[in-house]
C-alpha cells in the first residue's frame, strides 16, 4: 500500500511538472477573429478617463533616435539601419533631374533621403504574429492559412490601434540601486519598486519597466552587452494577477539572456505574444520620466500601419496626470 501511494505521489509530481512546462497558443476571449489581444481592454471610456486627468502640457518623449550604427538585433542576419541621400541641393543643380534648369535648381534647394531597416529596431512594438508556438500564433492562426508572400493576413502591425491608457513606470533600477549583468527581474522586484513609488497597478494599465539600459543607447556595444531583463515570473504576475494591457521596457528585447527555459529560447516573448495576446514595446527611453519621478501618466502612442508586418516603429509619449 505504501509503495502504491509513493508511486501515486510520483505520478502526480511528474504530471504537475509537465503541466507547468506546457506552452500552448492562447485562444482569444474576444472571439475567433481577434487580432489585437489585450488591447481590446481599451475603450472610449477608459481613454477619456485618463485624458481627463492630465494636469499640464508637459510631455515626455519615450522613444530613441534612429541613426546609422544604432543598436539592433542583427545576430540572426536581420539588416542594420541604413540611411542615404537621394537628392542634395548641389546634386540637383548638377543632375537637373526635374528638367527645370540650373537657375531654378539654384533658387529652390532640394534634399531627399531614404532609409532601410528591420521593423524591430529602435522604439517599436511587437505585433502578435512576431512569435508563435508549435506552428501557430495568437488565436490559433497558422502560416499555412494566413501568411502570404506579402506578410501575415492576421495580426499585422496595421491592426494595432492608437493606444491611450493609464501608464505606470516601474523604476526597478532605482529601487534595487542598480542591476547586475543579465539580471532577471522578478515579481518581488516589481512589488518592491511599486511600494517605494507608492503606486498601485490597475486593470488595463500600460506598464513600463526601467532597467537603466537606455543610458547606454548611444554606444551599441555597451547597450547590447549582458543587459538585464524581465523574467517569466514577473510577466505572469503582471498579466495574470494585475491584468495589465501592454508592457514596455528600455532594453533590447524585454527579457534577459540566456533564456530561463532550456526548451524555449525566448520564453517571455512566446508567453506574452502567443499564449496571452499581450503586445509589448522594446527599446524605450525612460530616463527623463525616472529623473522627474513621474510614475503615473497618460500614455499615448501609435505605430506605423505596416500591413502584415510583425512589428512597427512607435513614438510613445507620456503626459503626467494628477
- Answer for the pair 284, 316: CB distance below 8 angstroms, yes or no: yes
At 77, is the secondary structure helix, strand, or coil? coil
Tell me which residue has cell 493609464. 166
Spatial distance between the Cα atoms of 88 and 77, rounded to a whole number of angstroms: 31
Predicted local confidence at residue 312, as pLDDT: 98
- 10-residue mean pLDDT profile of the chain (322 residues): values are 43 40 93 98 98 96 98 93 98 98 98 98 98 98 98 98 98 98 98 98 98 97 97 98 98 96 97 98 98 98 98 98 90
Q: Rounded to 10 degrees, what is the CA torsion of 27, 28, 32, 35?
A: -120
Predicted local confidence at residue 115, as pLDDT: 98
Predicted local confidence at residue 9, as pLDDT: 40
- Answer for the pair 68, 220: CB distance below 8 angstroms, yes or no: no
At 206, is the secondary structure helix, strand, or coil? strand
Predicted local confidence at residue 71, as pLDDT: 96
Spatial distance between the Cα atoms of 265 and 263, rounded to a whole number of angstroms: 7
Tell me which residue has cell 540572426. 76
Which residues, including other chains, have CB under 8 Å from residue 291's CB and lie 6 or more apart?
none
Predicted local confidence at residue 75, as pLDDT: 87
Q: What is the pTM of this model?
A: 0.92
> Which grid coordinates are listed for 94?
548638377
Beta bridge partners of 64: none
Beta bridge partners of 83: 115
At 208, is the secondary structure helix, strand, or coil? strand
- Answer for the pair 270, 264: CB distance below 8 angstroms, yes or no: yes
Predicted local confidence at residue 21, as pLDDT: 62
Predicted local confidence at residue 322, as pLDDT: 84
CA dist list (Å): 238 to 2, 83, 200: 42, 38, 12
Amino acid at each position: 500500500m505504501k509503495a502504491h501511494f509513493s508511486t501515486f505521489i510520483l505520478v502526480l509530481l511528474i504530471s504537475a511538472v509537465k503541466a507547468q512546462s506546457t506552452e500552448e497558443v492562447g485562444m482569444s476571449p474576444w472571439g475567433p477573429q481577434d487580432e489585437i489581444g489585450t488591447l481590446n481592454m481599451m475603450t472610449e471610456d477608459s481613454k477619456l478617463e485618463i485624458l481627463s486627468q492630465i494636469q499640464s502640457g508637459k510631455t515626455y518623449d519615450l522613444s530613441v533616435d534612429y541613426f546609422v550604427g544604432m543598436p539592433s538585433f542583427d545576430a540572426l542576419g536581420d539588416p542594420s539601419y541604413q540611411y542615404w541621400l537621394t537628392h542634395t541641393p548641389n546634386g540637383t543643380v548638377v543632375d537637373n533631374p526635374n528638367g527645370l534648369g540650373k537657375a531654378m535648381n539654384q533658387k529652390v534647394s532640394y534634399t531627399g533621403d531614404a532609409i532601410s531597416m528591420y521593423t524591430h529596431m529602435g522604439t517599436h512594438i511587437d505585433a502578435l504574429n512576431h512569435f508563435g508556438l508549435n506552428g501557430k500564433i495568437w488565436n490559433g492562426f497558422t502560416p499555412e492559412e494566413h501568411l502570404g508572400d506579402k506578410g501575415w493576413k492576421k495580426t499585422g502591425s496595421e491592426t494595432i490601434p492608437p493606444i491611450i491608457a493609464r501608464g505606470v513606470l516601474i523604476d526597478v533600477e532605482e529601487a534595487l540601486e542598480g542591476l547586475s549583468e543579465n539580471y532577471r527581474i522578478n515579481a518581488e522586484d516589481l512589488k518592491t519598486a511599486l511600494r517605494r513609488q507608492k503606486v498601485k497597478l490597475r486593470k488595463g494599465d500600460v506598464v513600463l519597466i526601467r532597467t537603466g539600459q537606455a543610458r547606454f543607447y548611444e554606444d551599441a556595444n555597451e547597450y547590447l552587452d549582458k543587459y538585464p531583463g524581465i523574467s517569466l515570473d514577473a510577466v505572469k504576475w503582471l498579466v495574470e494577477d494585475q491584468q495589465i494591457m501592454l508592457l514596455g521596457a528600455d532594453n533590447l528585447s524585454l527579457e534577459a539572456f540566456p533564456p530561463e527555459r532550456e526548451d524555449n529560447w525566448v520564453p517571455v516573448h512566446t508567453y506574452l505574444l502567443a499564449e496571452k495576446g499581450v503586445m509589448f514595446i522594446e527599446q524605450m527611453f525612460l530616463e527623463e520620466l525616472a529623473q522627474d519621478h513621474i510614475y503615473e501618466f497618460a500614455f499615448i502612442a501609435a505605430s506605423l500601419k505596416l500591413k502584415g508586418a510583425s512589428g512597427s516603429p512607435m513614438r510613445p509619449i507620456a503626459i503626467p496626470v494628477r
